[in-house]
Chain A
Amino acid sequence: MDESFELLVNGAKRVVECEPGTPLLWVLRDHLELFGTKFGCGAGLCGACTVIVENTAVNSCDTPVWSIENKEITTVEGLSINGGMSRLQEEFLACEAAQCGYCTSGMLMRATSFLNNRDYETPSPTRAEVCSVLDANLCRCGIHNRAIEAIVRVGEK
């Protein structure tokens, strides 16, 4: 049975009517027409659907809507308010850290969460650190080194 859920998406309050088990991915795509978050596997194994919930990167394809009610959700659309780009997006563009670009939004969200949660007292992120964070995100075109470069640049002191 459909129920009503109140969500906080990219700073705006949104209300959707759907089954409690509906994954956040499909709430975003089917109900809110936010298409930046991608379907890749539906099993939480590829990271294409990564969004940020309360500062933590999660796979939206296996996050049911009931579990995130009234929590702050950020999608890739939330990174570029007013048509601009976040620092990380600018570096992705400068490094051309995308070929087909299908996995890009998931990477951006996982990396944004990583960068936001870093303590500014810690040294710049290492390659190994960035790789272990992004290990949950698959890319088939092979832009890994460019994404690492972009993320390290943003994290540099």
Chain B
Amino acid sequence: MPSNGINSPSLDLNPTIGDWLSFTQPDYIGIKSGKVEFGQGIGTALRQIVASELDVEVESIHYETVNTDHSPNEAFTAGSMSIEHSGNALRAAARAVRILIASPESDPTHFTEIDMAINIRSVLDDENQGFGLTRNHATNRSPRIDLPDKIRGKSAFLQDWRLPNQLFARMIHPPQRGCELSAHSPEAALAISGVLHVFCDKSFLAVIARNEYSAIKGAEIVLESASWSIPNSGIDSDTIFERLRKTTGVTEVYAEAGDDPADDSRAGTEQVLEATYSRGFIAHASIGTSCAIALSEGDQLTVWSHTQGIYPLQADLARLLEHRRENVEVIHVPAAGCYGHNPADDVAAEAAILARAFPGTPIALTWSRESELAWDPFGPAAIADISARVAPTGEITSWDYQAFSTGHSTRPTTLPVPAFWATELLNPGVVLSPAGDPPFITGGGIGRNAIPAYRIGRVNARALRCDQMPVRTSALRSLGAHLNVFAIESHMDDLAHLVYMDPIDFRIANLDDQRGIDILNRVREMSNWDSYIPSESTGLGVGYARYKNKGAWSACVAEIEVGNSVVVRNLWIAVDVGQVINLDGVRNQIEGGAIQSLSWALMERVRIRQGKVITDNWEDYPIIRFTEVPPIHLEILDRPEEQSLGSGETVMGPTTAAVGNAVAGVLGIRIRELPLDSENILKAIS
């Protein structure tokens, strides 16, 4: 376990000053982090932490490129853990430097004299145990370092990189998973100006061209010529919930209190509420399609990627290509936001396959929109059954939860075979293993927020993780917490109604956690909850959760209007993320998370017919638009004395739950299947 009061697994794995900082020349302070920028502003926040510890200007700190050559191995940038992992480690490294130079004022010229091999923990003595909380790191507002270039339209994204002699590729993905390529004709494509090669290996089919548009045209023509054997996996999104309930899998137990001991004193007075909640598959749906550049030179393979995990990608590329891991370098370059495990790793593997076939030439591969939406490792479809009992006093006496879901990770290194679509395309008969889950202790997958944070007499919580699902699923922002919080908070509202209590009163009455109570009270005031007058078509709903039951607290109130569809008119959010490193950064993450959650709640579902994903464009897979976005009224509680907690995923569950509760209030009917669109509302009414 960590010593010296510093809680960072990243520091355990990368213990020296040189693992985290570099002072290669006077006036240069470089920070090395394994956490990557994808628009969440992590580079800015980490710079602020180090600047504050070293007492230097933020502008003098450089956030170095994240690559497998010199960056610390921090596995994935995921789970809202970057401030806790990388932030704590960098803070410790910087504080150790301060102690070593033993000078009251920092002089950058002293930094170069430091022995970079020194173990950070050995420098920080016991008096630094309360570390992280002694100094105010939060300048609260530090402009994002990456934004000016993006706003100017400079080449800030991997899609814009051009290496000397670079060629451009497009994949021709099969119509659906499991297809085998039986024939194709390259001639017509090769006749197009700029098209150089049609690459085919088993079912792996791609076009390589001198420029991107030629690659796109070439791929369209090769697709027309291709024929495939099409398996029928029998997967249909309309029957996915029945299928999840029936399939085999791995049972995970999160809480086991056993059966209800007969309690005669309450017999006959308690009410039981049983219900099933569900969500379909959801796509990551980045606005920029996934891309990678790969270059093979001699023994060396270099891959530029927007992956969330440079080291896991390196390891699985080495396995896929049967390459020495040391000879694979992965360099992170920002691209569009990913919101979890999107196809970033898959496209990197495909680019690497092509680069190996054309040594010496950098190959840039960008996916089509159709591939991006159809070949995404989707956020899982899932069901949660809840049975709970409430006493007339409002006391919740028991809670039984059973979920059925696929797992939340098919990330690189988590499967027995290299976790890429390319593995299947190149090896007929090989199928990627079913998705697994992060351990429950570190936040879990299906089990994330499965246990209500309320005071409950007896809790049983378990899940069946399906191992027979021909739809690939992986991590999507907040993992299982999205459905679980929707389910729990919907159930809480219905329990409150059974005992004639106000939903917020009912929650507060069943909470022991003062910080949770504080934010519920706050959002109640902000939204004028107590004086709000609903109409036939408008109303309020509340949602609350502590993310992972150990992270940030958030409470949300939604005002909705139901006409032809559900319209969210206002959203009030109160959040407690402990000490705030960058206030505007946190606000941006919370606002963005809430809007994405509204999109999931109101309209998103992947549709699959006989194994084929048919929602492969923005008309069939709509996401929220400007006219559908409400004003957001947000307050971040000031907790400078508390540990900083991640913010990016915390509101996904509570926002959807608040909308669900508001809809139930207005309609008088509970919609338990997401999304809350007219299709599911009509289904619930009939």
Q: Any chain A CB within 8 A of the CB of B339?
A: yes
Q: Any chain B CB within 8 A of the CB of A124?
A: no
Q: A45-B618, A46-B287, A145-B591 are in contact. Are A102 and B335 (CB under 8 A)?
A: yes
- By the criterion CB–CB under 8 Å, are B625 and A135 in contact? yes
- By the criterion CB–CB under 8 Å, are B152 and A36 in contact? yes
- By the criterion CB–CB under 8 Å, are A138 and B625 in contact? yes
Q: Any chain B CB within 8 A of the CB of A119?
A: no
Docked pose: A41 CA to B617 CA in angstroms: 8
Q: Give A98 Cβ to nearest chain B Cβ, in Å.
A: 6
Q: Give B489 Cβ to nearest chain A Cβ, in Å.
A: 21
Docked pose: A147 CA to B625 CA in angstroms: 12
Q: Any chain B CB within 8 A of the CB of A58?
A: no
Interface residues on A, range: 35 or more
- Residues of chain A lying within 8 A (CB to CB) of residue B516: none
Docked pose: A104 CA to B287 CA in angstroms: 11
Contact of B626 among A30, A98, A131 (CB under 8 A): A131
- By the criterion CB–CB under 8 Å, are B368 and A96 in contact? no
- By the criterion CB–CB under 8 Å, are B148 and A100 in contact? no
Scan A82-104; emit 1 where CB is below 8 A from any B CB, else 0: 00010001001100101111111
- By the criterion CB–CB under 8 Å, are B153 and A98 in contact? no
Contact of B592 among A76, A102, A105, A142 (CB under 8 A): A142
Q: Any chain A CB within 8 A of the CB of B146?
A: yes
Scan B334-352; emit 1 where CB is below 8 A from any A CB, else 0: 1111010000000000000
Q: Give B370 Cβ to nearest chain A Cβ, in Å.
A: 9
Q: Give B448 Cβ to nearest chain A Cβ, in Å.
A: 21
Q: Any chain A CB within 8 A of the CB of B361?
A: no
Docked pose: A147 CA to B151 CA in angstroms: 12
Docked pose: A108 CA to B624 CA in angstroms: 19
Q: Any chain A CB within 8 A of the CB of B233?
A: no
Docked pose: A135 CA to B629 CA in angstroms: 10
Q: Give B501 Cβ to nearest chain A Cβ, in Å.
A: 33
**A residues 133-155 touching B (CB-CB < 8 Å):** 134-135, 137-148
- By the criterion CB–CB under 8 Å, are B626 and A141 in contact? no
- Residues of chain A lying within 8 A (CB to CB) of residue B623: 138, 140
- By the criterion CB–CB under 8 Å, are B339 and A35 in contact? no
Q: Give A141 Cβ to nearest chain B Cβ, in Å.
A: 5
- By the criterion CB–CB under 8 Å, are B153 and A75 in contact? yes
- Residues of chain B lying within 8 A (CB to CB) of residue A93: 143, 147-148, 151
Q: A131-B626, A146-B588 are in contact. Are A140 and B337 (CB under 8 A)?
A: yes
Q: A102-B337, A140-B596 are in contact. Are A35 and B626 (CB under 8 A)?
A: no
Q: Any chain A CB within 8 A of the CB of B66?
A: no
Contact of B594 among A40, A100, A142 (CB under 8 A): A142
Q: A99-B588, A99-B592, A144-B595 are in contact. Are A40 and B193 (CB under 8 A)?
A: no
- By the criterion CB–CB under 8 Å, are B156 and A101 in contact? yes
**B residues 357-386 touching A (CB-CB < 8 Å):** 366, 368-369
Scan A115-127; emit 1 where CB is below 8 A from any B CB, else 0: 0000000000001
**B residues 111-148 touching A (CB-CB < 8 Å):** 143-144, 146-148
Q: Any chain B CB within 8 A of the CB of A48?
A: yes
- Residues of chain B lying within 8 A (CB to CB) of residue A62: none
- By the criterion CB–CB under 8 Å, are B629 and A131 in contact? yes
Q: Any chain B CB within 8 A of the CB of A6?
A: no
Q: A76-B153, A140-B285 are in contact. Are A98 and B592 (CB under 8 A)?
A: no
Scan B616-652; emit 1 where CB is below 8 A from any A CB, else 0: 0111000111110101100000000000000000000
- By the criterion CB–CB under 8 Å, are B627 and A102 in contact? no
Most buried by A among B156, B368, B617, B626: B626
Interface residues on B, range: 35 or more
Q: Give A18 Cβ to nearest chain B Cβ, in Å.
A: 8
Q: Any chain A CB within 8 A of the CB of B38?
A: yes
Q: Give B172 Cβ to nearest chain A Cβ, in Å.
A: 15
Q: Give B192 Cβ to nearest chain A Cβ, in Å.
A: 9
- Residues of chain A lying within 8 A (CB to CB) of residue B162: 33
- By the criterion CB–CB under 8 Å, are A43 and B591 in contact? no
- By the criterion CB–CB under 8 Å, are B151 and A98 in contact? yes
Q: A131-B627, A144-B629 are in contact. Are A99 and B160 (CB under 8 A)?
A: no
Docked pose: A130 CA to B631 CA in angstroms: 13
Q: Give B538 Cβ to nearest chain A Cβ, in Å.
A: 18
Contact of A89 among B151, B193, B213, B631 (CB under 8 A): B151
- By the criterion CB–CB under 8 Å, are B38 and A100 in contact? yes
- Residues of chain A lying within 8 A (CB to CB) of residue B625: 135, 138
- Residues of chain A lying within 8 A (CB to CB) of residue B632: 145
Docked pose: A38 CA to B339 CA in angstroms: 19
Docked pose: A77 CA to B151 CA in angstroms: 10
Q: Any chain A CB within 8 A of the CB of B286?
A: yes
Q: Any chain A CB within 8 A of the CB of B39?
A: yes
Q: Any chain B CB within 8 A of the CB of A4?
A: no
Most buried by B among A79, A100, A127: A100
Q: Any chain B CB within 8 A of the CB of A72?
A: no
Q: A23-B213, A99-B40, A100-B39 are in contact. Are A45 and B285 (CB under 8 A)?
A: no
Which residue of chain A has its CB nearest to the CB of B148?
A: A93
Docked pose: A45 CA to B213 CA in angstroms: 18
- Residues of chain A lying within 8 A (CB to CB) of residue B151: 85, 89, 92-93, 98, 101, 104, 108
Scan B313-357; emit 1 where CB is below 8 A from any A CB, else 0: 000000000000000000000111101000000000000000000
Q: Any chain A CB within 8 A of the CB of B196?
A: no
Contact of A40 among B40, B288, B589 (CB under 8 A): B288
Scan B206-238; emit 1 where CB is below 8 A from any A CB, else 0: 000001110010000000000000000000000
- Residues of chain A lying within 8 A (CB to CB) of residue B473: none
Q: Give B99 Cβ to nearest chain A Cβ, in Å.
A: 35
Q: Give A138 Cβ to nearest chain B Cβ, in Å.
A: 6
- Residues of chain A lying within 8 A (CB to CB) of residue B287: 38, 40, 46, 48, 100, 102-103, 138-140
- By the criterion CB–CB under 8 Å, are A141 and B337 in contact? yes
Which residue of chain A has its CB nearest to the CB of B334?
A: A100
Q: Any chain A CB within 8 A of the CB of B159?
A: yes
- By the criterion CB–CB under 8 Å, are B588 and A148 in contact? no
Please list 18 pairs of residues, one from A and one from B, whose beta carbons are closer than 8 Å in the complex, sorted by A's number: A26-B213, A35-B154, A35-B155, A40-B287, A40-B288, A43-B617, A79-B153, A85-B151, A89-B152, A96-B147, A99-B337, A99-B592, A100-B336, A102-B287, A135-B627, A144-B626, A145-B595, A146-B588
Extra 15 A-B pairs, beta carbons < 8 Å, given A30-B213, A99-B337: A19-B193, A33-B162, A40-B369, A46-B618, A75-B153, A76-B152, A76-B153, A99-B589, A101-B39, A102-B39, A102-B337, A135-B626, A138-B623, A138-B625, A141-B39
Chain A residues with a Cβ under 8 A of chain B:
2, 19, 22-23, 26, 29-31, 33-43, 45-46, 48, 75-77, 79-80, 85, 89, 92-93, 96, 98-105, 108, 127-128, 130-132, 134-135, 137-148
Chain B residues with a Cβ under 8 A of chain A:
38-41, 143-144, 146-148, 150-157, 159-160, 162, 193, 211-213, 216, 285-289, 334-337, 339, 366, 368-369, 584, 588-589, 591-596, 617-619, 623-627, 629, 631-632
